[in-house]
């Protein structure tokens, strides 16, 4: 982060607090990226360990939709119910659905005159067949385009996926690096890892391969 010296010295706002909050939000997003959708490819922000949308495929804990059903919009109520049968029994008691909030209209459309499994519930939180739905901003967003062999919805108990922080957040600053432009350079670093302690704790709904 680059902070011009005049802003640091003359701002009526506490720039230190602003940078700390800005860093915290971005670090939290990096944690979510790795925890939920990290590819394990060690490129960019993907980390070296697979997030849940990839590890469920690796661990064969997925329900794949029928052939030609390559779009997230193809997901049916039967598909969403089927992934509950994939997790181990202990995970069902604390089980919940995890998906991007843009799926809300699609889930609402699954209700029929005689069957209303989806309930928005306002501040009480949405449910599907009585199981809570947790809206995860980093999860794949609803789409009507083809996305082959992708997990886009999860069910289970992700508390079995740990987030291990090593040493806390470290802030480094340098005036010398930004000397030519009269800037203070600030860097926030956090070392962490993730790991799934029980392969059967979480299952995923995967689009068809073709």
Looking at residue 57, what is its pLDDT? 97
Measured distance CA(49)–CA(175) in Å, rounded: 35
Query: pLDDT digit string (tens) for 118-162?
Result: 999 988 899 999 999 999 999 999 999 999 999 999 999 999 999
Q: What is this structure's pTM?
A: 0.88
pLDDT at 123: 85
Task: Please give the pLDDT value at position 53.
Answer: 97
> What confidence score (pLDDT) does residue 58 get?
96
Q: What is the pLDDT of residue 144?
A: 98
The series of mean pLDDT values per 10 residues for the chain, 210 residues long, is 78 82 91 94 81 96 98 98 96 96 96 91 93 97 98 97 87 84 88 93 97
Instruction: Supply the pLDDT for residue 150.
Output: 98
Scored b (16 or more CB within 10 A) or e, 161-193 reads beeeeeeeeeeeeeeeebeeeebbbbebebebe
């Amino acid at each position: 982060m680059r902070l011009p010296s005049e802003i640091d010295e003359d701002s009526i706002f506490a720039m230190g607090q602003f940078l700390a909050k800005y860093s915290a939000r971005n670090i939290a997003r990096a944690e979510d990226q790795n925890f939920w959708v990290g590819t394990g490819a060690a490129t960019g922000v993907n980390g070296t360990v697979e997030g849940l949308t990839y590890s469920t495929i690796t661990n064969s804990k997925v329900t794949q939709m029928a052939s030609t059903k390559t779009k997230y919009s193809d997901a049916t109520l039967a598909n969403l119910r089927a992934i509950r049968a994939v997790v181990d029994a202990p995970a069902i008691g604390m089980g919940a659905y995890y998906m991007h909030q843009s799926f809300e209209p699609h889930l609402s459309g699954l209700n029929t005159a005689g069957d209303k499994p989806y309930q928005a519930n306002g501040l009480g939180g949405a449910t599907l067949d009585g199981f809570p739905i947790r809206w995860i901003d980093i999860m794949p967003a609803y789409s009507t385009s083809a996305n082959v062999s992708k997990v886009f919805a999860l069910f289970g108990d992700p508390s079995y996926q740990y987030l291990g922080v090593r040493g806390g957040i470290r802030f480094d600053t340098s005036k010398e690096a930004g000397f030519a432009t009269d800037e203070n350079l600030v860097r926030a670093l956090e070392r962490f890892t993730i790991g799934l302690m029980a392969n059967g704790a979480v299952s995923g709904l995967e689009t068809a391969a073709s």
